[in-house]
Amino acid sequence: MDFENTAGFAAALDKEDPLAPYRERFHFPRIGGRDVIYFTGNSLGLQPKAADSFVAEVMQDWKSLAVEGHFKAEKPWWTYHERLRGPLASIMGALPEEITVMNTLTVNLHLLMVSFYRPDAKRYKILCEEKAFPSDQYMLKSQLRFHGLDPEEALVEVPRRNGGHHWHTEDVLSAIAEHADSLALVLIGGVNYYNGQVFDMEAITRAGRQAGAMVGWDLAHAAGNIPLKLHEWGVDFASWCSYKYLNSGPGNASGVFIHERHLNREDLPRFEGWWGTRKETRFLMRPDFEPADSADAWQLSNPPILSLAPFLASLELFQEVGMDALVAKSRKLTAYLEFVLQEIDAQVESRFEVITPEARGCQLSVFLHGEGRPLFDYLMEQGVIADWREPNVIRLAPAPFYCSFTDMYRFGQILKEGILKGRA
């Protein structure tokens, strides 16, 4: 399609967009009397309007049923997390029994490493991407130290080439091959938080497993953003937060995937808790752990129902729309945003550099060469909610559920105004 950087063209795209009505099913902050242009769904998704009623239902059940809400509520609490399993399985490309919801992301990665990082004298190294998300770096290094290993020697970080902005798949595969004899685990962020790059998860998973290593993924920036086929790709395990593209609310519960080949394995250790036992015998209070025959076996405590309620509200929207439709709009919307950036760049003779490669979801990371933090501050003051990353990068994530093509056009005009005002 040949794009045009005009209000009329953007409005025409919105008119033909089948997902446009879903914008009205989210709450927007307002600045200057109008809805903001919201580009930070990669940090915290907007609140679905249905979330209030889902939370209110739990509050009413608690009020009227008290402890009996576990079994007598319309959505009984003791199986509430199971309602999230089917929708998440569709989003993640998994079997329902491979999915559970518990804790938060880094907690879950630590717990999963109890099972899937089992270093010995021969295999002990962990491979990740250079400059992974800080929480992943802290987690990996602390795990190595916990096992008595030196991160300087046992952590293999795949670099970007010559100071470039993205990774090459062949470099990751070469690093796996180079360390194949000593590699215990490959654990990478499926979508890089900084540049928005989507890694070739299928190829990397295949190479890691062929090398004899376990392969896991941090999918914080991938869940609800890109197509995933975790079961088909043979991923050993994965975890993700739910408050970004999945719109579950700040700090909400994390999802977990464990491939079916690891379910019911008696030789695979894990930390255990009451909620990981079989439902059929859980309330018999037996002294010996009887693991559930699904990923629920990794659960420790009963889930926080008040947190899961807004999560379920959002997942019902995903069920209505489906990932195929969301991805199709995401690609078109992101392409239009990139076109608008190029048009504004030419008009103001600036030097914007999109550092996100073609392998991407809905995030564009943009180097504002020659511009600085004052431009970002101007955008925020004008109702453009974006994200700043040092040294001079703005992250823009036009989430397809609630961002419009008109938003992209308006952003371009505000960006142009900000640059020209800064030069006046």
User: What are the chain's domains?
Assistant: 7-35+322-423 (3.90.1150.10), 53-321 (3.40.640.10)
Report pLDDT for 421.
87
| Cross-strand pairs, 40 | 397
Q: What is the pTM of this model?
A: 0.96
Report pLDDT for 158.
97
Q: How far apart are CA 372 and CA 133, in angstroms?
A: 23
- State the chain's mean pLDDT as an integer: 96
Looking at residue 181, its amino acid is D
pLDDT > 80? residue 413? yes
The pLDDT confidence band at residue 203, using thresholds 50, 70 and 90, is very high
Closest to 410 in 3D by CA, of 47, 27, 34, 20 = 34
Report pLDDT for 351.
80
Give tens-digit pLDDT for 144-185. Answer: 999 999 999 999 999 999 878 999 999 999 999 999 999 999
Name the helix (H) or strand (E) containing 27: strand 26-27
Q: How far apart are CA 203 and CA 209, in angstroms?
A: 10
Report pLDDT for 349.
84
pLDDT > 90? residue 16? yes
Q: Is 239 helix (H, G, I), strand (E, B) or coil?
A: strand
Q: Is 127 helix (H, G, I), strand (E, B) or coil?
A: strand
Q: How far apart are CA 117 and CA 84, in angstroms?
A: 27
Distances in Å between the Cα of 297 and the Cα atoms of 61, 230, 322, 389 are 27, 19, 28, 38
248: DSSP letter: -
Query: Cα angle vertex 213, ends 210, 216, to 5°?
Result: 110
Give tens-digit pLDDT for 326-349. Answer: 999 999 999 999 999 999 999 998
Determine how β-strand 364-369 pairs with β-strand 155-158.
unpaired
Whether the Cβ atoms of residue 368 and residue 352 lie closer than 8 Å to each other: yes
Closest to 216 in 3D by CA, of 119, 65, 299, 109 = 109
389: DSSP letter: E
> 229 is written with which tokens?
């086929």
The pLDDT confidence band at residue 313, using thresholds 50, 70 and 90, is very high
Give tens-digit pLDDT for 277-307. Answer: 999 999 899 999 999 999 999 999 999 999 9
Among 102-111, 118-127, 154-163, the range scoring the smallest mean pLDDT is 154-163
Q: How far apart are CA 70 and CA 305, in angstroms?
A: 10
Closest to 173 in 3D by CA, of 137, 210, 136, 144 = 210
Mean pLDDT, residues 381-391:
93
